[in-house]
């Protein structure tokens, strides 16, 4: 059970005050009907209301500071009985102090039923309300804890995914550099530079801070530059980025795994030349990024890892924007298209 919208503090206080005013008026009326003394009715109702308020406060504080101890049926029942008895007893003590005489004693005894009923209704009602609020609070705490745990888990998954993908990329790139050192030292140097810039770009990113799109594009270009050296003529890359997207912001490293997937999927699923395209434009206050790679339908279903990275991205987008329609996948004419939509504030 969750309660999303609790009334505001002011609304709650106003409701309580009106409740007690009505109750006080009612009690005045009843006592006045019996004794026909308005002065006495006011004082009597005020005292009993004051004592009731003290009783409710005691329940409130005991519940707040005793934790769950009071929250079993037996304890609570006896606690309520004790409070009611305390109210009646104190009422009698105060009133007899104010008005002495045997007349008054008999009068008090004739009204004791009414007094008991009034105290019982008030105390049980507020005890129930407080108990209910206590459960709501506990439940909400549990839920938020669960939510936190889930968020942490997702983040851990993302980090794990990134670590899973990168070592192979890193080792293969180093292997290429190893070959280039002798045959093309200048190219080797450039590759080392690209690799360093790329790694630096991925390492220092704070997950929760949005970055300019231009920065992410530069990172993608570095990554694809490295892959082009590794795979030579087989890999072609095509960027088509509209000018007005460059300053827009998006969560960091969101595109990187998609492009990595596209490259892997393209290279390992198709024999010939592989063209990866990255397009971006603005539409309806959304930054739309479209990434395509070729694929072969006949063997695609048996490729491992399809959609594995994508489902994590879906989850991440959901966590950030609370929407599930921001990642779209299309397959046609042996082209696999991934579309990412980033809402702009």
Closest to another protein by CB, 108 vs 231, is 231
Q: Which stretch binds another protein (CB under 8 A): 3-11, 293-301, 315-323, 329-337?
A: 293-301
Residues 61, 65: Cα–Cα separation, whole Å: 6
Residues 22, 114: Cα–Cα separation, whole Å: 16
Residue 186 sits in the site that holds another protein (CB under 8 A): no
How many residues are listed for the chain in this entry?
A: 345
Q: Which stretch binds another protein (CB under 8 A): 28-36, 66-74, 101-109, 301-309?
A: 301-309
Residue 182 sits in the site that holds another protein (CB under 8 A): yes
For the CB of residue 187, give the shortest distance to another protein in the complex, in Å: 10
Residues 309, 244: Cα–Cα separation, whole Å: 28
Closest to another protein by CB, 105 vs 306, is 306
Residue 231 sits in the site that holds another protein (CB under 8 A): yes
Q: Which stretch binds another protein (CB under 8 A): 40-48, 206-214, 217-225, 228-236?
A: 228-236
Nearest to 255 by CA among 203, 198, 217: 217
Residues 32, 221: Cα–Cα separation, whole Å: 88
Residue 192 sits in the site that holds another protein (CB under 8 A): no
Report helix, strand or coil for 270: coil
Residue with tokens 């980090």: 159
Near another protein by CB under 8 A: residue from 8, 39, 302, 332 = 302
Nearest to 338 by CA among 224, 275, 255: 255
For the chain, the C-alpha Rg in angstroms (whole number) is: 36
Residues 239, 110: Cα–Cα separation, whole Å: 92
Report helix, strand or coil for 294: strand
Residue 178 sits in the site that holds another protein (CB under 8 A): yes
Residues 92, 189: Cα–Cα separation, whole Å: 96
Residue 194 sits in the site that holds another protein (CB under 8 A): no
Residue 152 sits in the site that holds another protein (CB under 8 A): no
Q: Which stretch binds another protein (CB under 8 A): 92-100, 101-109, 121-129, 262-270?
A: 262-270
User: Is the Cβ–Cβ distance between 337 and 331 less than 8 Å?
Assistant: yes
Residue 230 sits in the site that holds another protein (CB under 8 A): yes
Residue 193 sits in the site that holds another protein (CB under 8 A): no
Near another protein by CB under 8 A: residue from 127, 176, 245, 293 = 176
Report helix, strand or coil for 252: coil
Residues 162, 199: Cα–Cα separation, whole Å: 12
Residue 101 sits in the site that holds another protein (CB under 8 A): no
Closest to another protein by CB, 312 vs 320, is 312
Residue 299 sits in the site that holds another protein (CB under 8 A): yes
Q: Which residues bind another protein (CB under 8 A)?
A: 167-168, 171-172, 174-180, 182-183, 229-232, 234, 267-271, 296, 298-299, 301-304
């Amino acid at each position: 059970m969750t309660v999303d919208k609790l009334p505001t503090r002011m609304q709650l206080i106003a409701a309580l005050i009106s409740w007690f005013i009505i109750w006080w008026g009612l009690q005045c009326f009843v006592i006045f009907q019996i004794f026909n003394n308005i002065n006495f009715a006011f004082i009597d109702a005020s005292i009993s209301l004051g004592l009731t308020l003290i009783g409710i406060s005691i329940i409130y504080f005991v519940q707040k500071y005793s934790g769950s101890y009071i929250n079993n049926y037996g304890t609570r029942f006896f606690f309520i009985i004790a409070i009611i008895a305390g109210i009646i007893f104190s009422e009698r003590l105060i009133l007899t102090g104010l008005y002495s005489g045997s007349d008054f004693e008999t009068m008090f005894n004739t009204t004791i039923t009414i007094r008991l009923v009034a105290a019982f209704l008030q105390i049980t009602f507020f005890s129930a309300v407080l108990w209910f609020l206590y459960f709501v609070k506990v439940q909400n705490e549990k839920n938020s804890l669960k939510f936190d745990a889930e968020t942490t888990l997702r983040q851990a998954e993302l980090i794990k995914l990134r670590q899973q993908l990168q070592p192979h990329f890193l080792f293969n790139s180093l292997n290429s550099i190893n070959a280039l050192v002798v045959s093309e030292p200048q190219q080797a140097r450039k590759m080392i530079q690209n690799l360093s810039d790329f790694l630096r770009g991925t390492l220092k990113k704070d997950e929760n801070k949005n970055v300019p799109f231009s920065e992410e594009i530069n990172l993608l270009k570095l990554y694809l530059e490295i892959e082009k050296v590794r795979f030579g003529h087989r890999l072609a890359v095509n960027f088509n980025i509209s000018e007005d997207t460059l300053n827009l912001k998006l969560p960091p490293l969101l595109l990187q795994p998609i492009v990595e997937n596209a490259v892997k999927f393209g290279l390992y699923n198709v024999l010939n030349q592989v063209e990866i395209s990255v397009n971006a434009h603005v539409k309806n206050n959304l930054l739309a990024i479209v990434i395509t790679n070729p694929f072969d339908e006949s063997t695609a279903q048996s490729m491992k890892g399809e959609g594995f990275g994508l489902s994590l991205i879906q989850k991440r987008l959901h966590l950030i924007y609370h929407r599930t329609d921001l990642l779209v996948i299309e397959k046609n004419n042996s082209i696999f298209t991934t579309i990412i939509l980033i809402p702009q504030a």
